[in-house]
């Protein structure tokens, strides 16, 4: 379990440091080229979904998404603890830890950023702990995204995608952690996932049979 916690806290720390640096030093939509035209730091904010995709700006939409994320993290923590108590390799635990870390990273944004930061604009950077309070209440903060990889643009003659950027989403370290963790589990531990799902299904079936008796 210690290794898993180290992974979780390390990813969260890197994620939050990157977001603080962007939030406090860049204006909204400011772009800093890093590697030619293929990798940029482009500051945007969204209301909670991954890779720059948004949900409704309503208070209830954010609360529902926040509650769903928290519930998912709790369930994953329970699974992580149960698996840690068993004699299994660290591989599956590593993948689950990455997913938990990514989810927590974005949960922190939604929970607290509206309370501790002033609003970012196209002309002014945000201020940490501004006089008069932040730009929103608890669970109403926006998620900070900044990683942008517009690798290439499709030629105009390509059907459906002509003139469009190959990879247009803008995301953060937390999003990356969730994606990498998920792909890692599927590619390298797919059998383990299927076995775990089967075990859970069998236990539920046994419990249902006992109730019916």
Catalytic positions are: 145, 175
**In this structure, are strands 39-46 and 31-35 parallel, antiparallel, or unpaired?**
antiparallel
What lies within 8 Å, CB to CB, of 181 at 6+ separation is 94, 95, 96, 97, 98, 99, 101, 102
User: By the 8 A CB rule, do 171 and 182 touch?
Assistant: no
Whether the CB-CB separation of 156 and 162 falls below 8 Å is answered with yes
Which phi and psi angles does 131 have, rounded to 5°?
A: -65, 135
Given a contact cutoff of 8 angstroms between Cβ atoms, the answer to whether 157 and 44 are in contact is no
How far apart, in Å, do the first and last CA atoms of the chain sit?
A: 38
Give the Cα separation of 99 and 181 in Å (integer): 5
Looking at the DSSP bridge assignments, the partners of residue 180 are none
């Amino acid at each position: 379990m210690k290794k898993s916690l180290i992974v979780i806290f390390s990813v969260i720390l890197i994620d939050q440091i990157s977001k603080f640096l962007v939030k406090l030093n860049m204006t909204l939509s400011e772009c800093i080229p890093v590697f030619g035209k293929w990798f940029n730091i482009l500051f945007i904010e969204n209301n909670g979904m991954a890779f720059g995709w948004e949900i409704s700006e309503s208070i209830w939409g954010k609360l529902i998404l926040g509650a769903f994320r928290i519930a998912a993290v709790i369930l994953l923590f329970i699974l992580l603890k149960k698996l840690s108590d068993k004699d299994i390799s660290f591989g599956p635990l590593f993948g689950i830890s990455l997913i938990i870390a990514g989810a927590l990273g974005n949960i922190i944004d939604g929970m607290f950023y509206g309370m501790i930061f002033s609003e970012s604009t196209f002309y002014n950077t945000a201020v940490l702990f501004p006089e008069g309070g932040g730009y929103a209440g608890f669970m109403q903060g926006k998620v900070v995204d900044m990683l942008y990889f517009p690798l290439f643009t499709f030629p105009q003659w390509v059907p459906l995608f002509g003139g469009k950027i190959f990879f247009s989403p803008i995301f953060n370290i937390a999003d990356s952690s969730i994606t990498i963790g998920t792909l890692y589990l599927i590619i390298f531990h797919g059998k383990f996932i299927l076995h775990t799902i089967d075990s859970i299904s069998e236990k539920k079936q046994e419990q249902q049979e006992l109730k019916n008796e």
